[in-house]
Chains A and B, each alone.
Chain A
Amino acid sequence: MKRRFFVLVAIFCLVLPSAWAQAPQTASTGGQPAVVKVTGEVLTPLTLTATDLAAMPRTTAVAKDKQGVPHTFSGVALSEIFNKAGVTTGRQLRGENLAKYLLVTCADGYQVVFSLAELDSSFTDRVVILADQIEGRPLPAGTGPFRIVVPGEKKPARNCFQVTTLAIRFAKE
């Protein structure tokens, strides 16, 4: 049993450095810096970089991982990003604007939806954030650089990884 574990660790140690060594080469195929686009029903479309997020008002959110262990994430509240982009929030979030939703798209094509009311401080105390740090350190490669953290959600399926786009849409029916 122990032997097998060590073999695995050894394989990891052999494989990972070579995979890292590959990384600079990927820069030639692109290796662009990651950004999050804010599009759709906004007054000012945004393309947020890591630096942009660092300069915005920051907050934290706690969410459990698959094993049920809580972690503290930090980043920017979605409502903060909405204000910067000119999304209908607060007192403007009434009438037809209640038929608006946020469509989050991730690098792997995964998509989840929130209604705008679910994310608004005049409706709920829950603060959903676009996180770039876990326990004060950058998010690990598989989930970062940017992910959604929804505190208190029973199923972590909307805590999605590698967010690339936040699109505000109108339900059209």
Chain B
Amino acid sequence: MKRHYRRYGIVLATGTAVIFLAAAFRPPHAARRNPTPYTLSYPAYFGNRINTTDDNPLTNEGVSLGRHLFYEKRLSANNSISCGSCHQQAHAFTDGRAFSPGFDGVFTKRSAMSLCNLLWVRHFFWDGRAASPEEQVVTPLTDAHEMGQSLDSSARKLRAIHSYAPLFTAAFGSDSITPDRIVRAIAQFERTLISAQSPYDRYIRGEYQPTVTEQRGLVLFYTNPDRNRGIRGAGCGNCHSGPKVFNETYHNNGLDSIPTDPGRADVTGMDYDRGRFRVVTLRNIALTAPYMHDGRFATLQAVIDHYSDHILPSLTLSPSLKDTANRPVNVQLTPEEKADLLAFLRMLTDSSFITDPRFSDPFADAGHHTKTDHHIISE
């Protein structure tokens, strides 16, 4: 009996030693490495009300895969467009158009939105209908007139491209390419598009002295006009408020007296939401013309003229654009005040954001997106 135990003991000990040695001398690349957490860095003045989720933690590998997919034209039905077609980095992720052609040439119903500081957005799109980046991403991928391809087809097409298996493995621990993983990776990339290096940021951090006109514009932007006390202001900060120049609320900013696009009412079904749209960020606004949900204004000058002189009354016009103004309904700024406001809006341009290699097209110089390559796997 005892001898038996001894024998077992020896066998066990040798076995353990063998396993231990095997583990110790295993070549490093054979080990299953977990993806490394991505470090989000942003200024404290943005606050921490961010839309991350434990379900889809950001990792360097996941974000990198997301970046590839963002620029992957084969995610569209005829391999002709990617997210990056409507959201171009040089234009702060817009495309310079009022409406954008989808893979089939049919134009979108609303203007492509600029993508920046999405980490603080809680409801996506002009009407706030998507409650997370994950939910949002599915729309352009599968919309019949945007990229026009089911998530299953997208996964199938990616499986046929050999370069993707290692990227999925690095990001998610195995090479299985699924609709869910495609969505997660792109959502991770979206969350990293942070813009916080504009002259306005440097001003907030005390590193930049605004010019006289920028300074006057800044004050006008944040001041509420008050006729009774003779205070002039443009009252923009009521809606585009704080250092993010973004406030997740929905307003009718007086574009139409009878809104043709129901906006937020499409989501809620409430009459009082008719013609209300999400107050979008003004960061990089000088780069994202044309403006508004339908791209009706070609220049920032036209936008300022709108708020100053052409606000249209309607049932749902925001109360903050009604009687608080320098004059009833309209703000009515002088030409000099308009120029000051414009100077302030230009302070919001972050030139490092639009050249940051972390957000750029990874296929741009790799020669990956050659014409022949596109046609290898057309469905």
CB of B71 closer than 8 Å to a CB of A: no
**Residues 10-31 of A contacting B (Cβ, < 8 Å):** 11-12, 15-16, 18-20, 22-23, 26-27, 29-31
Q: Are B258 and A26 within 8 A (Cβ)?
A: no
Q: Give chain A residues whose Cβ lies under 8 Å from the Cβ of B328.
A: 8
Q: Which 3 residue pairs across A and B have the least CB separation, nearest first?
A: A30-B269, A109-B249, A32-B269
CB of A142 closer than 8 Å to a CB of B: yes
Q: Are B324 and A19 within 8 A (Cβ)?
A: no
Chain B interface, DSSP helix/strand/loop, else mixed: loop
Q: Which of B251, B258, B272, B278 contacts A141 (CB 8 A)?
A: B272
Shortest distance between the CB of B325 and any CB in chain A (Å) = 12
Distance in angstroms between the alpha carbons of A26 and B317 in the assembled complex: 16
Q: Are A15 and B314 within 8 A (Cβ)?
A: yes
Q: Give chain B residues whose Cβ lies under 8 Å from the Cβ of A34.
A: 270, 272
B143-162 interface code vs A (CB 8 A; 1 in, 0 out) = 00000000000000000000
Q: Are B249 and A15 within 8 A (Cβ)?
A: no
Using A18-B258, A26-B271 as known contacts, list a sample of 5 further A-B pairs with CB atoms less than 8 Å apart, ordered by residue number in A.
A15-B257, A19-B314, A29-B269, A30-B265, A143-B319
Once A16-B313, A108-B276 are accepted as A-B contacts, the answer to whether A29 and B266 lie under 8 Å apart by CB is yes
Interface residues, chain A, with chain B CB atoms under 8 Å away: 8, 11-12, 15-16, 18-20, 22-23, 26-27, 29-32, 34, 66-67, 107-110, 141-143, 161-162
CB of B361 closer than 8 Å to a CB of A: no
Distance in angstroms between the alpha carbons of A161 and B249 in the assembled complex: 13
Shortest distance between the CB of B123 and any CB in chain A (Å) = 8
Distance in angstroms between the alpha carbons of A11 and B330 in the assembled complex: 13
Once A15-B312, A141-B315 are accepted as A-B contacts, the answer to whether A108 and B271 lie under 8 Å apart by CB is no
Q: Give chain A residues whose Cβ lies under 8 Å from the Cβ of B270.
A: 30-32, 34, 107
CB of B273 closer than 8 Å to a CB of A: yes
Q: Which residue of B lies closest to A161 (CB)?
A: B319
CB of B274 closer than 8 Å to a CB of A: yes
Q: Give chain A residues whose Cβ lies under 8 Å from the Cβ of B211.
A: none
Of B123, B272, B312, B318, which is in contact with the most chain A CB atoms at under 10 Å from its CB?
A: B272
**Residues 316-335 of B contacting A (Cβ, < 8 Å):** 316-319, 322, 324, 328-329
CB of B262 closer than 8 Å to a CB of A: yes
CB of B305 closer than 8 Å to a CB of A: no
CB of B104 closer than 8 Å to a CB of A: no
Q: Which residue of A lies closest to B324 (CB)?
A: A66
Distance in angstroms between the alpha carbons of A165 and B273 in the assembled complex: 15
CB of B128 closer than 8 Å to a CB of A: yes
Shortest distance between the CB of A96 and any CB in chain B (Å) = 24
Q: Are B319 and A109 within 8 A (Cβ)?
A: no
Q: Are B249 and A29 within 8 A (Cβ)?
A: no
Q: Give chain A residues whose Cβ lies under 8 Å from the Cβ of B314.
A: 15, 19
Distance in angstroms between the alpha carbons of A30 and B269 in the assembled complex: 4
Q: Which residue of B lies closest to A27 (CB)?
A: B271
Q: Which of B257, B268, B278, B319 contacts A142 (CB 8 A)?
A: B319
Q: Are B315 and A107 within 8 A (Cβ)?
A: no
Q: Give chain A residues whose Cβ lies under 8 Å from the Cβ of B250.
A: 107-109
